[in-house]
Protein backbone atom coordinates (compact mmCIF):
# COMPACT_ATOMS: atom_id res chain seq x y z
CA UNK A 1 0.00 0.00 0.00
CA UNK A 2 1.74 3.13 -1.16
CA UNK A 3 1.61 6.80 -0.29
CA UNK A 4 -0.91 7.58 -3.07
CA UNK A 5 -3.50 5.22 -1.61
CA UNK A 6 -3.91 7.43 1.45
CA UNK A 7 -6.06 10.55 1.05
CA UNK A 8 -5.09 13.78 2.76
CA UNK A 9 -7.77 13.24 5.41
CA UNK A 10 -6.57 9.69 6.01
CA UNK A 11 -3.01 10.91 6.36
CA UNK A 12 -4.07 13.35 9.03
CA UNK A 13 -6.03 10.69 10.93
CA UNK A 14 -3.10 8.29 10.65
CA UNK A 15 -0.53 10.82 11.77
CA UNK A 16 -2.55 11.80 14.80
CA UNK A 17 -3.28 8.21 15.81
CA UNK A 18 0.36 7.28 15.35
CA UNK A 19 1.57 10.14 17.53
CA UNK A 20 -1.03 9.41 20.17
CA UNK A 21 -0.02 5.76 20.44
CA UNK A 22 3.64 6.72 20.55
CA UNK A 23 3.05 9.23 23.32
CA UNK A 24 1.13 6.65 25.35
CA UNK A 25 3.74 3.99 24.98
CA UNK A 26 6.58 6.40 25.78
CA UNK A 27 4.82 7.68 28.87
CA UNK A 28 4.20 4.13 30.07
CA UNK A 29 7.86 3.32 29.46
CA UNK A 30 9.05 6.35 31.43
CA UNK A 31 6.77 5.42 34.32
CA UNK A 32 8.01 1.83 34.25
CA UNK A 33 11.68 2.87 34.14
CA UNK A 34 11.23 5.18 37.10
CA UNK A 35 9.42 2.47 39.05
CA UNK A 36 11.98 -0.22 38.24
CA UNK A 37 14.86 2.10 39.09
CA UNK A 38 13.34 3.02 42.44
CA UNK A 39 13.42 -0.64 43.51
CA UNK A 40 17.06 -1.25 42.57
CA UNK A 41 19.03 -2.48 45.57
CA UNK A 42 21.80 -4.50 44.00
CA UNK A 43 23.95 -4.68 40.91
CA UNK A 44 21.92 -7.43 39.27
CA UNK A 45 18.84 -5.20 39.37
CA UNK A 46 20.88 -2.49 37.64
CA UNK A 47 21.85 -4.82 34.81
CA UNK A 48 18.27 -6.09 34.55
CA UNK A 49 17.22 -2.47 34.04
CA UNK A 50 19.93 -2.12 31.43
CA UNK A 51 18.72 -5.24 29.60
CA UNK A 52 15.16 -3.99 29.78
CA UNK A 53 16.14 -0.63 28.27
CA UNK A 54 18.18 -2.30 25.52
CA UNK A 55 15.20 -4.45 24.55
CA UNK A 56 12.66 -1.62 24.66
CA UNK A 57 14.88 0.72 22.66
CA UNK A 58 15.28 -1.91 19.98
CA UNK A 59 11.54 -2.66 19.91
CA UNK A 60 10.52 0.99 19.74
CA UNK A 61 13.02 1.77 17.00
CA UNK A 62 11.56 -1.01 14.90
CA UNK A 63 7.92 -0.50 15.69
CA UNK A 64 7.28 3.19 15.12
CA UNK A 65 7.95 3.21 11.42
CA UNK A 66 5.74 5.81 9.75
CA UNK A 67 5.72 4.50 6.19
CA UNK A 68 2.42 4.23 4.33
CA UNK A 69 3.52 0.89 2.92
CA UNK A 70 3.53 -0.71 6.40
CA UNK A 71 1.18 1.52 8.37
CA UNK A 72 -1.70 -0.98 8.32
CA UNK A 73 0.52 -3.50 10.11
CA UNK A 74 1.88 -0.90 12.51
CA UNK A 75 -1.64 0.15 13.49
CA UNK A 76 -2.77 -3.47 13.91
CA UNK A 77 0.14 -4.10 16.27
CA UNK A 78 -0.57 -0.91 18.24
CA UNK A 79 -4.24 -1.83 18.62
CA UNK A 80 -3.34 -5.36 19.64
CA UNK A 81 -0.94 -4.08 22.28
CA UNK A 82 -3.47 -1.61 23.61
CA UNK A 83 -1.70 1.61 22.63
CA UNK A 84 -4.45 2.57 20.22
CA UNK A 85 -8.19 1.99 19.96
CA UNK A 86 -9.72 1.03 16.62
CA UNK A 87 -12.13 3.91 16.97
CA UNK A 88 -9.21 6.35 16.96
CA UNK A 89 -8.61 5.27 13.37
CA UNK A 90 -12.06 6.35 12.22
CA UNK A 91 -11.64 8.48 9.13
CA UNK A 92 -9.58 5.85 7.34
CA UNK A 93 -11.42 4.18 4.49
CA UNK A 94 -13.46 1.10 5.34
CA UNK A 95 -11.14 -1.30 3.54
CA UNK A 96 -8.16 -0.23 5.66
CA UNK A 97 -10.14 -0.42 8.90
CA UNK A 98 -11.32 -3.92 8.03
CA UNK A 99 -7.77 -5.03 7.32
CA UNK A 100 -6.48 -3.55 10.56
CA UNK A 101 -9.28 -5.17 12.56
CA UNK A 102 -8.62 -8.52 10.91
CA UNK A 103 -4.89 -8.29 11.61
CA UNK A 104 -5.48 -7.54 15.28
CA UNK A 105 -7.29 -10.87 15.59
CA UNK A 106 -4.38 -12.87 14.21
Give the list of residues 6+ apart from residue 63 with CB closer than 8 angstroms, or none.
74, 77, 78
Binding mask 35-54 toward a second copy (x if CB under 8 A, else -) reads -xxx-xxxx-xxx-xx--xx
Binding mask 51-70 toward a second copy (x if CB under 8 A, else -) reads --xx--x-------------
- Residue 92 CB-density burial (10 A; 0-12 exposed, 13-18 middle, 19+ buried): buried
**Cα–Cα dist 75/21, whole Å:** 9
Kindly tell me which of 63 and 99 has the beta carbon lying closer to a second copy.
63
Given the rule CB under 8 A, which of 9-17, 33-41, 76-84, 91-99 is the region that contacts a second copy?
A: 33-41
Kindly tell me which of 22 and 68 has the beta carbon lying closer to a second copy.
22
Give the list of residues 6+ apart from residue 11 with CB closer than 8 angstroms, or none.
none
Binding site for a second copy (CB under 8 A): 26, 29-30, 33-34, 36-38, 40-43, 45-47, 49-50, 53-54, 57
Amino acid sequence: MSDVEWSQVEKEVAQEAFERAYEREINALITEVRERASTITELDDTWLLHDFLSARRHQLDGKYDYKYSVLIFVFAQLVKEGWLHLKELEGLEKDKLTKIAALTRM
